[in-house]
Structures are given as C-alpha cells and as structure tokens.
A and B are shown apart, each in its own frame.
Chain A
C-alpha cells in the first residue's frame, strides 16, 4: 500500500451513513481510499477498528479509527481546514447538532417502522411519526439549505430524506413524503442532490431500489 495513503474510509456504497463521511471528506478536499466492505462478511479490518458496533462507516486516519457517522463528520471538520461543515458560533453549532440528532433519532426509526414493521398498526404509527418529523423539518428550513447558503452538518445528515426515502417509498409502496406536502423540503432535496460533491457520492438509484425491494418487501404482507 502506498505510504502516503493516510486516510481510509471503510464503507458500502449504498449506505446513507457512509455517504455522510464521504461528503465531508470531499468537501475538505481530503484524498482517501474507499475500502468496500461486505456487510454479510465483515473484514478483520472492520471488526478490529469498530469492535463495539461492527458497522460502517469507519474512518481510519493514520490507522486511528473514528466510528459513528456524525462523530466522523465533526472529526473531519476539525481535523482538516477548508470549508466549514459546522458553524463557528457555539449557539449555531448546538442547533446544527440538535437537528442532525433529530434526523437520526426521529426520522430514520420512523421510516423503518413505516416501511418494515410486520404489524400494520405499527407501520401506520411509523407513518404518523414520519409525517410529524418531516413537518417539523419543513418548518425549520428557512434558506436554501439548513445551513444557509452552503451545505452543512444538518444538510449532510438529512440527505437521507432527499435521496434514500423516495427510493424506500417506491420499494414498499408508500407516499408519506412528497413535493405537495413538503414543498420546501422537496426543493431543498433537489438543491442538495445537485451539489457537485453530493452528486459524486450518491450511489446509482436502480440497484438501491432493487436492494430495498428485496430487503423490505419480504417484511410486509402484500397490499
């Protein structure tokens, strides 16, 4: 291996969490090696560097591991100069952390509940929780991006809504998130997916759709 390879990212291309780390690295212009992991056959490298969770992404910076996507993004922001991902003002930083945590704590679980829970009542409840969370984010969005004129931590965290959520919806036949109900989020979604760095990182849609159809359809009874 080349001796100047100091940054490695262990990941899989379809993961929204891995995408966060990649976007952050590219925003900072960091050269890195992407190491493709197989989630059904985890490498020793992954297991050694993330023994606690055994998950991707894992960032290796000079062989020192950083795990958990939002922790990785903050680390990248602090370890490298360049365009800032978190605001510099402490209050705005707290806001950015609050909203990115909101995406992880509220949006993700609701989506998976709505799309995959075998119990119909639970799926409906998931749908309701998702609608509430999206409404809150729709109201929170004031400018072009959550971060203002340029993308920041919250935009990177919420990218899941713009790219992955519509694919999951299509895979399982849901229509909880659409441009009519959430026009601001929809517009934000178009903007962020058009961002030159994000475009480079987003995986192809079709294989991901096939993946979700395979994973999720088997959990829900046919409609």
Chain B
C-alpha cells in the first residue's frame, strides 16, 4: 500500500494533459513517480483501476487516492499544496475568469484540434483548422488585455491555470501546423501569443517537459493508423 503522501502520475510523454499536471507538480516543487502509460498499445491495470470511468491519462495518485481529469488535478494540486506559488488566483472573481478560460480552451480549441487531427476529408479538416484559428484569435484578444496591464501571462506575473491549460497544447498546435502545411500562430495576427508562447516554453517549470514536434508527429501518425485499423475492424 502506497504511503499516504506518495505521488504517482500515470501519464504519457505525448500527452498535453499529463504535461499540465507535470507543470503544476513542478510549480509546487513536488517529487513524484512518473509512470509512463503505453496507451497506444495497452492500458495498465493500475490505470484501469484508478480511472475506471474514463480509462484515460493523466491520473494523479496521491497515496491511494486517484484524481482524474487534468484541470481538476491541477486545481487539486493547487489546493492541497497551498503554501507554494499559486496556480489559481486568490480572488474569487479572478478564479472564475481563470476557470472560464481554461474550460474554453478545452471545449473549443482542444475539441477542434482533436477533430482536425482525425479528419480525413480535406474540406472538413479545413473547417476545423479555421475553428482553431478562431479560438487563437479569441485568446490573443484576451492576452492583449493582460499585456496592456504590463502582465506577461494569462495568470498575471507568473504562469497560472490558463497558461498551463493553453500552453500544454502548443506542441500539438505545431503538429497540426506541420502536418497541414499551415502556420496558425503567426506574429502578424498574434503578436502577444507569439511572445507568450516563448516565455511559456522557457519558464523554469515548463522547460524540458515539452515533447519534440517531430516525435509527436510520428506518434500522431501511429495513433491515426491505430484508430483506422480499429474502425475497419468493427
């Protein structure tokens, strides 16, 4: 039985959602066991036991207690280790804004990205890429408000929930850009986002954790082949 304070992360090197948790753990200077799940091939017993509802990574195991869903895990980490630097703002209204934008990233940008990756029809894929660009424009608008206040991050002076939620997806945006021959985050349209992305990637709690785009593209191709085979088998 795990000691009540032992931390384990069931994740994957390719997963932007697991990356969110790793960043949060780093912000709080937490030591954890990083367990790599081979989700392309098979799911471990531990994963299936810890997340029986979704059977997905990431799962944070705090002692025996499993916590699932990346944004929920990040909030959990922020609440339990509340003496370290904060991930969510202290003001209730600012917290509501952070949660709103984090949900927006997942409900709009992330969903469009998922569809764009899997869509075989070129016209349909173009439509999803445009949706991604719409979301990026919205986030640029939001970030510009911070920039006007002299703040470098969605979270203010330091990276926060929204930075983590959005920033973790940047490597996958690069994948889609490369695979579709289409730059989506561009200086002319997203002057603030471009600078923010650089700041984010070099943040001490993020640096070294982001997977290489080339490796992700290989992974994406393998994933798509696997999905195609599964669909054909039905």
Interface 1/0s, chain A 14-56, versus B by CB < 8 A? 0000000000000000000000000000000000000010000
| Docked pose: A18 CA to B73 CA in angstroms | 27
Instruction: Check A74 against B72 for contact (C-beta < 8 Å).
Output: no
Instruction: Check B92 against A75 for contact (C-beta < 8 Å).
Output: yes
Instruction: Check B138 against A94 for contact (C-beta < 8 Å).
Output: no
| Docked pose: A44 CA to B138 CA in angstroms | 20
Instruction: Check B103 against A52 for contact (C-beta < 8 Å).
Output: no
Instruction: Check A74 against B104 for contact (C-beta < 8 Å).
Output: no
* A64 shortest CB reach to chain B, Å: 6
* B113 shortest CB reach to chain A, Å: 17
Instruction: Check A61 against B93 for contact (C-beta < 8 Å).
Output: yes
Please give, as numbers and ranges, the residues of chain B lying within 8 Å of A184 by CB-CB distance.
Answer: none
The residue from B53, B96, B138 contacting A74, defined by CB atoms under 8 A apart: B96
Instruction: Check B96 against A66 for contact (C-beta < 8 Å).
Output: yes
Instruction: Check A91 against B68 for contact (C-beta < 8 Å).
Output: no
Instruction: Check B73 against A71 for contact (C-beta < 8 Å).
Output: no
Q: Is B147 an interface residue (CB 8 A)?
A: no
Q: Is A141 an interface residue (CB 8 A)?
A: no
Instruction: Check A68 against B80 for contact (C-beta < 8 Å).
Output: no
Q: Is B95 an interface residue (CB 8 A)?
A: yes
Which chain A residue shows the least CB distance to B52?
A: A136
Interface size on B, residues (CB 8 A): 21
Q: Is A98 an interface residue (CB 8 A)?
A: yes
Interface 1/0s, chain B 71-98, versus A by CB < 8 A? 0110110011000000000001101100
| Docked pose: A74 CA to B99 CA in angstroms | 10
Interface 1/0s, chain A 101-140, versus B by CB < 8 A? 1100000000000000000000000000000000010000
Instruction: Check B53 against A102 for contact (C-beta < 8 Å).
Output: yes
Please give, as numbers and ranges, the residues of chain A lying within 8 Å of B62 by CB-CB distance.
Answer: 91
Please give, as numbers and ranges, the residues of chain A lying within 8 Å of B53 by CB-CB distance.
Answer: 102, 136
Q: Is B207 an interface residue (CB 8 A)?
A: no
Please give, as numbers and ranges, the residues of chain B lying within 8 Å of A136 by CB-CB distance.
Answer: 53
Instruction: Check B65 against A91 for contact (C-beta < 8 Å).
Output: yes
Instruction: Check A91 against B99 for contact (C-beta < 8 Å).
Output: no
Instruction: Check A75 against B76 for contact (C-beta < 8 Å).
Output: no
Please give, as numbers and ranges, the residues of chain A lying within 8 Å of B103 by CB-CB distance.
Answer: 68, 71
Please give, as numbers and ranges, the residues of chain B lying within 8 Å of A74 by CB-CB distance.
Answer: 95-96, 99
Looking at B62, B95, B96, B100, the one whose CB has the most chain A CB atoms below 10 A away is B96
Q: Is B36 an interface residue (CB 8 A)?
A: no
Looking at A72, A93, A97, the one whose CB has the most chain B CB atoms below 10 A away is A97
* B231 shortest CB reach to chain A, Å: 14
Instruction: Check B99 against A94 for contact (C-beta < 8 Å).
Output: no
Instruction: Check A97 against B69 for contact (C-beta < 8 Å).
Output: yes
Instruction: Check B69 against A52 for contact (C-beta < 8 Å).
Output: no
Instruction: Check A94 against B76 for contact (C-beta < 8 Å).
Output: yes
Q: Is B67 an interface residue (CB 8 A)?
A: yes
Instruction: Check A66 against B76 for contact (C-beta < 8 Å).
Output: no
Interface of A toward B, CB cutoff 8 Å: 52, 61, 64, 66-68, 71-72, 74-75, 78-79, 90-91, 93-94, 97-98, 101-102, 136
Show 7 A/B contacts (Cβ-Cβ < 8 Å), sorted by A.
Answer: A68-B100, A79-B92, A90-B76, A90-B79, A91-B67, A91-B76, A94-B67
